[in-house]
Amino acid sequence: MQTNSDGDTHGDACDNCPMTTNQNQANQDGDPQGDACEAVGCGTQVDYWPIPANDPDCDGFTTAIEMFVGSDPTAPTGHCAANGGSHNEPNPDRWAADFDDNQMATTLDLVVYVTALNTAPPNPNYVQRADLNGNGSITTLDLVAYVYMLNKKCVL
């Protein structure tokens, strides 16, 4: 028998929102998640990464994390860097995953973690911007948070 976690008539394997009842399986933006699972205000944007609650700019990071790492939690003009040039904009950065402001989360951004991994203040290699779970140290949990963004272009 197929599991149906939300109790609608669609089994989990075929349900585009298996933890929230959505009988009609509405999906305005065509991404893998049904509209019932979309973060409020992000329903018409294709979700290239998980969008947590309290993420008003739909960039995959909560307001609290963006405040902690120093990126803009509201980014009213989009969460991409203003242009593709590296490090040529004033703070706060718009997207926490794009360390070099080239409008993509790439392995070049991931290099930041190489020297910062397993560090915490006052270690000079600790980079608060890379502490994506805001716990005061750079660990593999921060890398896991970053993996969802890897090789993705920010959404304007």
**pLDDT tens digits for 137-154?**
999 999 988 888 888 887
**pLDDT tens digits for 22-33?**
889 888 767 667
Read off the tokens for 21: 């009842």
Helix or strand run (H / E) with residue 140: helix 140-147
* Contact yes or no for 29/16 (Cβ under 8 A): no
Asked whether residue 19 carries a pLDDT value surpassing 90, the answer given is no
pTM of the prediction? 0.70
* Contact yes or no for 111/132 (Cβ under 8 A): no
> Residues 121-138: what's their mean pLDDT?
95
Residues in contact with 50: Cβ distance below 8 Å, sequence separation at least 6, in sequence order:
60, 148
pLDDT band with cut points at 50, 70 and 90 for residue 79: low
